[in-house]
Chain A
Amino acid sequence: MSEKLQSDFDKIVKTSKFSNEVIQFKKNFLDDFIKKGFPNRKQEDWKFLDISQIIKKNIGDLSFFNDYSQSNKVDPSIFVDGLEHNKIIFINGRIEKIDFNFEDQNKIEITDQTKKDISFNYENSLIDLNGAFTDKVFKILIKKNYSLKKPLIIYHSTNDKINSTNINLRLDFELGENSCLKLIDYFTNNIAKNFINIFYNFNLEKDSILKNYKIDKFRNDDLKYSFNNIEQDSNSVSETFILSAGSDYLKNEINCNLKGEYSSAFINGVFSLKENQQHEIRTTINHLVENTKSYQLIKGVLGKNSKSAYQGRIYVNSKAQKTDGYQLSKAILLDETSEFNAKPELEIYADDVKCSHGSASGSLDENSIFYLMSRGLNYQQSKELLINGFLLDVVEKITDPEIKKLIKNIIGLKE
């Protein structure tokens, strides 16, 4: 594989207009990735779903070449209706459009970050892969005291130009003091089979608010990995909602460092899996100072042959007294062949804390189905009603009413 990586890398260098400095910078990432290779089940974080096996099985040989010099046509039919929004459009990993039409242009600054090193320690080789093959990296800065009027939707799409390719993309966000960003990641319906590797880096300054909604609803054959690194200063809030339903494989990973007092992180996730899908959510919340809070709720409904995993980790530093940490994961297994794995982990070094986790999995409650059927619903309807109610619980946690409505529409949940 290393030869393929090397030759595809050289091809990108040839077709792109990267400076020598950038090329050298990317080359270091490439060398690191070649050394480490794709993660596999021997690593604790990849124990449940082994990405290297999944790529081998679903795609076979990956191509890493991506022609960043050619622009792609934007198809407006993918846009979300019924909600005014700003747009960033990625097609085949290339940014085709950045559009903040609804906002005050002076309050948003976009800078090239391609040469900036990753500021935290990591072992994950997919970040090296991302560093080596991604196109230009932009940083979006929301200035002090500015709240975006409309949400920002990032469209992730591919066209028929590429197949069996690894697509890497990266964005950095900086939220200035007392600013607010609502960000929706929207994955559109794709025909091709690619491995998409997304890396976001968020830096939340004092009193800022980030709301990130990841919507992967439409059935597609892609394999996706998404990594969010969130650094939080005092009194900042991050809210992440994950709808994990469309792709063949999807792993959402969230690493959140609560570095300022009174900062808080909320993560809510829904797995809704059908045949042969394999999804995972892995979270790490690091409580580093006093009076921080985190809350996680993950629910899953698993169909035939599907498999999902939740690995949640709460780390409490010895300085982080008065931490409040909570994790809950629940799953309904609909078929004999579905499988749910959980590893809710607590690592605690401070004594004055309130940390707890819970995990439950099982089948649909026959008594409840009987109750509904005795009131005139048929079996299928009762089942759906129960499942919807089970999942609605998570969707209700979304704090933005407009986006909540949009997501309910997308899922097809009615109030």
Chain B
Amino acid sequence: MDTREKDIEKLKDYKYGFTTDIENIKAPKGLNEDVIKFISNIKKEPQWMLDFRLKAYERLKLLKEPNWQKPKYPKIDYQDLYYYSAPKSMKDKPKSLDELDPKLLETYKKLGIPLQEQARLNGIAVDAVFDSVSVATTFKGELTKHGIIFCSMSEAIQKHPDLVKKYLGTVIPVTDHFFATLNSAVFTDGSFVYIPEGVKCPMELSTYFRINASETGQFERTLIIADKGSYVSYLEGCTAPMRDENQLHAANVELIALDDAEIKYSTVQNWYPGDENGKGGIYNFVTKRGLCKGNNSKISWTQVETGSAITWKYPSCILKGDNSIGEFYSIAITNNYQKADTGTKMIHLGKNTKSKIISKGISAGFSDMTYRGLVDINSKAKNSNNYTQCDSLLMGNKCGAHTVPYIKNKNFDSNIAHEATTSKISEEQLHYCQQRGLNPEEAVGLIVNGFCKEVLQQLPMEFAVEAQKLVGISLEGSVG
């Protein structure tokens, strides 16, 4: 067996589907003021943070769950969820990795994320989030030398309240849509990154999210601030155990780029997608938004979405600073009964702003995939430019691929170009590859990888290899 086949053999079932048997502390079931106070209390948060949460909760009571999306799902009972779950051993935060529960270390080893620094040679700093709390952050010493703050959100609230206070909720306000507001009220942990003025972050920063406990929702919040002239590349990965129930994951991610700063945010999302009959899986309802606040700033989103029963998210860029740039590269793959409604929003407010959207959707089996995007060029955004390309590939006639772009041009100096195609892998292409000795599955793998190349290129090296494998594996069994 060659390595690819071994990979597939291993992944016939979802590789990350195991659970870790670990004692948990949970908040009482349900959503109310007491639970929010419980979360805030257990995290020893200052009063202003609790006020922030309660304000969001007040607002949440007035909001209705949106229902305009394409993938419909059974009603979620928000009172039947645990909003906080943490490994018991994390109650008093361990000071170093040596004190960390060996079970947790083993879990991450199994996931292929070694938390011991010596085990990681290629130098990626990792913040690992297990259920509701961050369990470990690596390479802290190295980062501190550059003045970079990379820690869990809870730690940031304690140690850097000024920064958190100044920026939290400025891109995704507490008054935003239902899921974002829910997150503002009950978020548990997440990563916080601050890159000081003029610093180019020397390594990739990464967060690894893991849902372990059952009947929990994961609500993490990430805040990345790139100060003037700085640069950071950030990666996010996620997995969850196999369960029959659907679990909710409603995260908020806020990016802020000041003058001349650049943030590159990459996601490889591989939440449990449910079994082949569409039972179980994660509802991935995430709000991701970046603000190019300063002039000449740049935010780039790259995502590879292969997991989740339902993916519903639109990583967006608000291009407020003059000459700022927003980019969005996406591969979304749905198989079996998975559903995805994803895309981006590019809101041009500043002069000479540019945005680029490359979206590749592949649907197979009985799945349904929607690209939904907005390009809005404001009347003040003189000389702005947008280019959008969204291509869809269909495999079989039981699946669907949809494209719903909204294009608003209110500025006569600006140009918008949009292109979209939908097709299948042509017989000629397959024939050509097979003629040269590839079997049908390899041929499809090759063609699909070619189809996705423009996006895969945007990922950092190590992730690109991972993602390429993931693309092949996600489509396993959909050919022939």
Contacts and interface: CB of A to CB of B under 8 A. Distances in A.
Nearest to A316: B422
B409 A348 contact: no
Contacts of A10: none
A109 interface: no
A346 interface: yes
A352 interface: yes
B422 A336 contact: no
Contact of B402 (A339, A346, A360): A346
A345 interface: yes
Given A346-B420, A350-B397, A338 B412 contact: yes
Contacts of B424: 351-353
Interface string B403-430: 1111111111111111111111000000
Interface stretch (B75-83, B139-147, B388-396): B388-396
A297 to B, nearest CB: 15
Contacts of A342: 405-407, 418
Contact of A337 (B379, B399, B414): B379
A318 interface: yes
B431 to A, nearest CB: 15
Given A335-B412, A342-B407, A360 B400 contact: no
B409 A361 contact: yes
Contact of A331 (B394, B397, B399, B409): B409
A354 B423 contact: yes
Nearest to A319: B397
Contact of A336 (B379, B404, B407): B379
A355 interface: yes
A334 B412 contact: yes
B401 interface: yes
Given A342-B407, A354-B423, A347 B402 contact: yes
Interface-centre pick from B396, B410, B417, B422 (highest chain A CB count, 10 A) = B422
B398 interface: yes
Contact of B422 (A44, A331, A334, A348): A348
Contact of A318 (B68, B397, B408): B397
A340 B409 contact: yes
Contact of A343 (B400, B405, B422): B405
B409 A333 contact: yes
Contacts of B414: 362-363
Contact of B416 (A334, A349, A356, A361): A361
A344 B408 CA distance: 12
Interface in A346-389: 346-363
Nearest to A353: B422
Contacts of A359: 405, 407, 416-418
Nearest to A355: B422
Given A321-B397, A348-B394, A356-B421, A341 B408 contact: yes
Interface in A23-71: 44
B415 A362 contact: yes
A353 B423 contact: yes
Nearest to A336: B412
Given A349-B397, A349-B399, A344 B405 contact: yes
A360 B396 CA distance: 31
Contacts of B397: 318, 321, 349-352
Interface string B369-393: 0000000000100000000000010
A358 B409 contact: no
Main secondary structure of the interface of A (DSSP, over half): strand
A357 B420 contact: yes
Nearest to A311: B406
Given A336-B411, A356-B421, A362-B415, A343 B402 contact: no
A346 B422 contact: yes
A360 B414 CA distance: 10
Nearest to A358: B419
B407 A351 contact: no
A18 B395 CA distance: 56
A331 B417 CA distance: 11
A211 B409 CA distance: 32
A353 B403 CA distance: 14
Contacts of B401: 346, 348
B395 to A, nearest CB: 6
A352 B399 CA distance: 12
Nearest to B423: A354
B412 A350 contact: no
B412 A356 contact: no
Interface in B174-232: none
B179 to A, nearest CB: 20
Contacts of B416: 359-362
Contacts of B379: 336-337
A369 to B, nearest CB: 14
B380 to A, nearest CB: 10
A407 B394 CA distance: 42
Contact of B407 (A321, A341, A353): A341
A359 B417 CA distance: 6
A349 B400 CA distance: 4
Interface in A286-333: 318, 321, 331, 333
A339 B408 CA distance: 7
Contacts of B420: 344, 346, 356-358
A104 B402 CA distance: 48
B409 A341 contact: yes
Contacts of A360: 415-418
Contacts of A336: 379, 411-413
Contacts of B415: 360-363
A343 B406 contact: yes
Nearest to B377: A361
Interface in B214-272: none
A355 B419 CA distance: 11
B411 A333 contact: yes
A358 B406 contact: no
8 smallest CB-CB distances across A and B, nearest first, come from A362-B415, A333-B412, A351-B394, A356-B421, A359-B418, A342-B407, A346-B403, A351-B424
11 contacts: A44-B68, A336-B379, A344-B418, A346-B392, A346-B422, A348-B394, A353-B422, A357-B418, A358-B417, A360-B415, A362-B416
Given A351-B424, A358-B417, 7 more contacts: A333-B411, A334-B412, A344-B420, A347-B402, A351-B399, A355-B421, A357-B420
Interface of A: 44, 318, 321, 331, 333-363
Interface of B: 68, 379, 392, 394-424
